[in-house]
Chains A and B, each alone.
Chain A
């Protein structure tokens, strides 16, 4: 390449906008406060900041990659466009009736989340497609024209269309879209067969509605961003990070903004995945802990686990079912209400409970001295000596031990009949236990055993808690990479261009029809490839295919990886074998005598990434001299211990620090418990190894 390759990743989060700049392999990072009114302003400020640090002009930037919580926030805060929804006559209330259950069994005053589009804005049309894709009831063109006229007259900003079984045949949805194109070409119309052609009407309708709802806002924002970047001389291509961990063009993002959901956390997973593949760790659990929530993701073979459905905007203590389920490709993550700001209290059984309520950054934990009266996880960490009151956030926020102690005494210790230290230990132990249990259940759901995994921890709070989590989960290796505070933005720089095309097509293996499969796969591949080329041009790509299969009549499918090729009749055995292998892996057995069927299909086309440079993990090292110590509470030993205090930037590759130890840096502190030893790595990562494992070697 003639000129430098300068790539910038920008992640807009709730509090901070993080920026990472890669100058031919050298990394520069920065953080600026998020600007809610003009998010693009923070991006420009952040870019200027990192360019200054890198000593280059903004004009030298060759690629900008962006991820944002804009879509997620817009859905949570209900700030989207006034949207009309058109559906099949007889199904007006699918998005209101949801799954007809209560996500909390014992709460008589439960409220269910209201749909994005209220009943008066939901319209119906007489039409019907069968499960096999045949037209049972044709659309009456006059009725359609009248409906289009009504909707235009009402002045809606966006329209979503979702018909029953449209994933098998989009003819009616396309007919409606065309009618709007003819009558009101400027109106944004999203149709479910294009946004999310998967079986299950509740999720598909939700997805097309969410897409329509955020579309005007997102395309306006992206347009503004590109213009502002050009104004300051950045005319290079801009790409968006999508929720499944890949990049798409700004145009594609404007058309399908629902694919941008949770793109920040997806960047975090890519960040962890990069380290996992460099180290050749095949089974990794990533652990990201911030102020209000913790996120857990499984990374196998260097790839974050993905899923086809996702629940956004949970309204009730992060309870499953209390949000909006969407069918769109995502990196699969478990999110729990456990962060530094999570508030502790004592319930009627005198048990300590932590979260999901958070003190946030305002007023923040009691020790921030900003009027917070409730003890939080951060207060507990402070009382247990795991945080240095003078060095928090690089010394910018002075923490008050007496205020933390008082809050802990009032709200926890006195009610649970404990002293403040015991109470603080109880708080951290409860929150660690909650996170460990969530991680364990998530791996069980995926048919895996967590003690076989290594952990990669990042985000402000994770390094404080990760080692204890590993003790609880019997995980022997913990990696804390460098730059963990802006992990998502760095992750963006490592993401491939990719697009996942999905479609529902029902087929039983005893009616195996390779012709139909081949046709569908080639259509899906062409669709996905077109989107990738829209961003990346003609490049070398990989194609992966998943068939979602189950035993006839089962409620849930499993994703089965199959090759992209032309199938023939005899390949029915390939499908059966792959399904049975996958089923056995997940559930420990197969069942003879049951039919097998395929419901949904998915193809991902991705640009080929350069293989990550392998780095040999140093699993042992030589103990460094310790000049400073501090007391902290070791949870496994249930007592205060004298811990070595080490500056992270003083560590050289091969240095080892035997726990108990605290490793201090500006953004966070890493706790090494008595059971673990830290070994500094060549790439500035820190590896924490269970001492028992070291002895065994």
Chain B
């Protein structure tokens, strides 16, 4: 059968369905809350050369580019002549995988009629990896848990039991972690079975012609989008909280013809704590932000990702080398899109939003009995919460909505069934969106206390407390976040802290920046916002100039 262009299109669609099925299998079987509830995973298919040809659309842009880069590392370290049918490889190396030890990337070579034709890869966030547990307080990656270098998890169908045993003895929640490793392998196998069907349906014996078709088309379309942008170098700089000291994030975005380079030279040096970001993760989020604005409709594959070049000087906080601690690299990683989009705004005004809360406010709570001998069981509770997005050039920002991350929050009722705590409030934070012709999205207020007999420890990993999200084109800044107890005690934005029995934790999540001069906002809209309580009386009068 001679394959036509239509056949190639159908096969491209099919590959996207294959990786969706791979991802679905993982979501359904995973234990990790963040995989299941929040889509913190990635799945994709690669050709023999290690080029990604299709990737499932999931909740985490952070994995997008990162996983695409990982397969060539596997090919190099395993060695081409050491790749056998029935093999499965893995790593959680933050610098060769997706940025921290909690993410395992599993790669399975695909064979068709005895011939090696490509790879499946999948990444998931596991519940625990030993060390100090998920939090920013470590000073070296060694304290953050077990690092498994690129190696074979399964060879020719035989599980590496020694490795499983080592992992089992180094993590908390062993069954769930080991279970998730098998889930990753199983999801690759599910994708593989579907790929085999396609190979026989279309009478293929290799993937190279198809991967050329996909990658060449995607690359050409992406290059065209870049070429359409005005040439020049555009700068942006953004201060954020960091851990022990504020972090200055700087970027120079150079567009010349159909090339694009984002260079983070001038960005602050590394932190002593786990907020450092490996280069691979910085590149993932920079690329994601730019792609949203420039080429949102072009599917993710090596062809559509390669045209976005991203660099940062080694040793800066956005290119932290081994053995820097990187456990909560997502906090600064999530702020990277705001930095690059700010520069892009200089190039193509009217497309990119104002800055938003951006970094997720993940709350990891440990409920412990006040009396250790009470017999009350301990409990770990993880919540994902989001502040406001920045306003857009023609639309208000989305309130309490994750961006750039794509995760979901959990039901308060479900959370209260998981552990001994009460959520007293989870509501929009009135007046927290930056004023503007288009208003920034609102943050939210969350109030939590331990139930009778318990106290709570929590790992803070919050940003935009000292440096709020800035408005654009005359729009005002969003409200900064805050962390405190109900007796007025101010808590830190990063690190492990105690909520004593009887006290309530109050989190105020940041709002997004406004867009455009607030005086230009439609006065009826201002009035409606005031009636609904989205803005305060003070903002209505002073920012918007409403006659009240």
Contacts and interface: CB of A to CB of B under 8 A. Distances in A.
Interface stretch (A41-49, A85-93, A178-186): A85-93
Given A349-B217, A418-B6, A437-B13, A199 B417 contact: yes
Contacts of A349: 217-218, 220-221, 298
Interface string A575-617: 0000000000011110111100001000000000000000000
Interface in B148-198: 175-176, 179, 182, 186, 190, 194, 197
Interface stretch (A147-155, A224-232, A399-407, A421-429): A421-429
A682 interface: no
Given A94-B426, A200-B414, 7 more contacts: A93-B444, A131-B413, A201-B411, A349-B298, A444-B21, A447-B28, A554-B31
A347 interface: yes
B292 A108 contact: yes
B297 A106 contact: yes
Nearest to A438: B17
A515 interface: no
B400 A131 contact: no
Contact of B408 (A100, A106, A447, A592): A100
Interface string A349-365: 11110000000000000
Contacts of B447: 90
Nearest to B442: A93
Interface residues of A, number: 72
Interface stretch (B133-141, B476-484, B531-539): B531-539
A102 B402 contact: yes
A433 B13 contact: yes
Contacts of A100: 384-386, 400-402, 407-409
Nearest to B186: A588
Contacts of B385: 100
Interface stretch (B75-83, B111-119, B308-316, B391-399): B391-399
B279 interface: no
B9 A426 contact: yes
A454 interface: no
B182 A444 contact: no
Interface residues of B, number: 82
Contacts of B408: 99-101
Contacts of A542: none
Contacts of B406: 101-102, 105
Contacts of A430: 9-10, 13
B91 to A, nearest CB: 24
Nearest to B224: A348
Contact of B291 (A106, A348, A351, A418): A106
B427 A93 contact: yes
Given A200-B414, A418-B6, A112 B29 contact: no
A347 B298 CA distance: 9
A52 interface: no
A349 B222 CA distance: 9
A3 interface: no
Contacts of A111: 395
14 contacts: A90-B427, A99-B409, A102-B398, A106-B296, A112-B401, A118-B532, A128-B422, A131-B416, A201-B411, A351-B9, A430-B13, A555-B36, A556-B28, A591-B179
B384 A445 contact: no
A110 B352 contact: no
Contacts of B28: 445, 447, 556, 586-587
Given A109-B395, A200-B411, A97 B297 contact: no
Given A90-B427, A91-B426, A347 B297 contact: yes
Nearest to A348: B221
B37 interface: yes
A16 B12 CA distance: 38
Given A201-B413, A422-B6, A441-B24, A589 B425 contact: no
Interface in A530-582: 551, 553-556
Interface string A93-134: 110110111100111111110000011100000001011000
Given A101-B401, A120-B531, A348-B298, A200 B6 contact: no
Contact of B175 (A92, A101, A107, A591): A591
A417 B5 CA distance: 9
B54 to A, nearest CB: 12
B413 A199 contact: yes
| For the complex of A and B, 3 pairs with smallest distance between CB atoms | A90-B425, A106-B296, A437-B17
A164 interface: yes
B16 to A, nearest CB: 8
Contacts of B413: 131, 164-165, 199-201
A120 B532 contact: yes
From A102, A440, A444, A588, residue with most partner B Cβ within 10 Å: A102
A434 interface: yes
A128 B416 CA distance: 13
Interface in B333-381: 351-353
A434 B13 contact: yes
A136 interface: yes
B175 A593 contact: yes
B293 interface: yes
A112 B296 CA distance: 18
Given A444-B21, A589-B182, A599-B417, A429 B6 contact: yes
Contacts of A96: 399, 428
B120 interface: no
A587 B24 CA distance: 11
B59 interface: yes
B33 A553 contact: yes
A652 to B, nearest CB: 36
B207 interface: no
B61 to A, nearest CB: 7
B410 A555 contact: yes
A316 interface: no
B296 A441 contact: no
Nearest to A90: B425
B14 interface: yes
A429 B4 CA distance: 13
Contacts of B186: 588
B352 A108 contact: yes
B529 to A, nearest CB: 10
Interface in A434-466: 434, 437, 440-441, 444-445, 447
Interface in A624-655: 638
A91 B61 CA distance: 30
A275 interface: no
A440 B19 CA distance: 12
A119 B532 contact: yes
From B28, B400, B403, residue with most partner A Cβ within 10 Å: B28
B403 to A, nearest CB: 7
A130 B534 contact: no
A368 interface: no
A592 B417 CA distance: 22
A221 interface: no
B534 A119 contact: yes
Given A418-B6, A422-B6, A430-B10, A553 B297 contact: no
Contacts of B240: none
A81 interface: no
A112 to B, nearest CB: 6
B25 interface: yes
A440 B20 CA distance: 11
A102 B401 contact: yes
Nearest to B9: A351
Contacts of A506: 417
A305 to B, nearest CB: 16
Contact of A441 (B9, B20, B418, B425): B20
A408 to B, nearest CB: 13
B12 A97 contact: no
A347 B12 CA distance: 14
A202 interface: yes
A416 interface: yes
B306 interface: no
Contacts of B194: 440
